[in-house]
Structure 1
């Protein structure tokens, strides 16, 4: 029986690699489902989500659940907005509500924070990273794959970091 991996993606250059994440997850024995933030949709290639369940909005009253329960969660990339909202329990969008519920349920979670130095310099950045880390979320640096120590993304380096990113850095956590 296949394990279900929810792949969340946020609005940053690394979202363009979600198709590679789907392929890598399947190769590792996962059944992926993608939950994109609205901001990520502009980064995702048109054909990347063609053969995978993907959900971005809340279900309607009386509508059955659209995905099987997640065995694990990966947030690649995780922007400043999603990081700080998730850490504070803000659940005002489908992706955030789902992330908050999965963290509350004890689902194994890994996140790849992706923010430039000016946003990473805001006090909420380190506070949120620390809170998620203490809550059991494994943080992976998008440049090096290092776990639990995350550097900001240097301005102008998003495309290079995206090109060099390795999905095994995320999937090997599970």
Structure 2
């Protein structure tokens, strides 16, 4: 079996508490995952079993070799208001955003799970960013039920429950390419 590289970009929201499950699910489907957290996601990773995968947090230093092969696919789980808007606007001022902007420019297969409360999801920038990412080919998956037809905001106080009910096959199946 030929293993392919999957970048798991994660942002600071309750769904980041499930990134270890995503690592295992990806490996079970033949992927070599690399975790790329935003600064806000780092506390959510503490204590998780990441099954020995590399966690890439900063840009490499001059002369330092690449730390991961090029991605065959990218999953952004969860994609918070801040990261999703910055990504859609082409802001590459952090390592995770640089990774996402480069993947979008390279047309790397990408799935994202938007995760924002009603007040943030109602902001016009959110709606515009969703449209930009869809136009660019990013497959957006609803965190509640895996739907690609609609995206429901996260009701205040329900993030932990949404994270608990989340299924990684919603993301991995929508990558649309087999790792085998």
Normalised to the residue count of structure 1, the TM-score between the two structures is 0.98
Measured after TM superposition, the shift of residue 49 of structure 1 is 3.1
After superposition, give the CA deviation of every residue in 1:116-141 in whole Å (9 maximum; x if it has no partner): 00111110000000000000000000
Provide structure 1 residue ranges, at least 5 long, that are not aligned to the other structure.
Answer: none
Equivalent residue number for residue 92 of structure 2: 91
**Matched residues, number:** 174
Q: Which portions of structure 1, spanning 4 or more consecutive aligned residues, are displaced by more than 2 angstroms?
A: 45-50
Measured after TM superposition, the shift of residue 45 of structure 1 is 3.4
Equivalent residue number for residue 101 of structure 2: 100
Equivalent residue number for residue 7 of structure 2: 6
Q: Is the CA contact (8 Å cut-off) linking 2:17 and 2:48 kept in structure 1?
A: no
Normalised to the residue count of structure 2, the TM-score between the two structures is 0.94
Equivalent residues in 2 for 1:40-59, closer than 5 Å: 40-49=41-50, 51-59=52-60
Q: Is the CA contact (8 Å cut-off) linking 2:118 and 2:155 kept in structure 1?
A: yes
> Which structure ranks higher in relative contact order (CA pairs < 8 Å, sequence separation ≥ 6)?
2
Equivalent residue number for residue 165 of structure 2: 164
Looking at structure 1, the residues matched to 51 and 169 of structure 2 have their Cα atoms a distance apart, in angstroms, of 22
Provide structure 2 residue ranges, at least 5 long, that are not aligned to the other structure.
Answer: 176-180
Equivalent residues in 2 for 1:21-100, closer than 5 Å: 21-49=22-50, 51-100=52-101
Looking at structure 2, the residues matched to 42 and 88 of structure 1 have their Cα atoms a distance apart, in angstroms, of 26
After superposition, give the CA deviation of every residue in 1:13-54 in whole Å (9 maximum; x if it has no partner): 000000000000001111100000010011123243350011
Measured after TM superposition, the shift of residue 148 of structure 1 is 4.2
Q: Is the CA contact (8 Å cut-off) linking 1:86 and 1:100 kept in structure 2?
A: yes
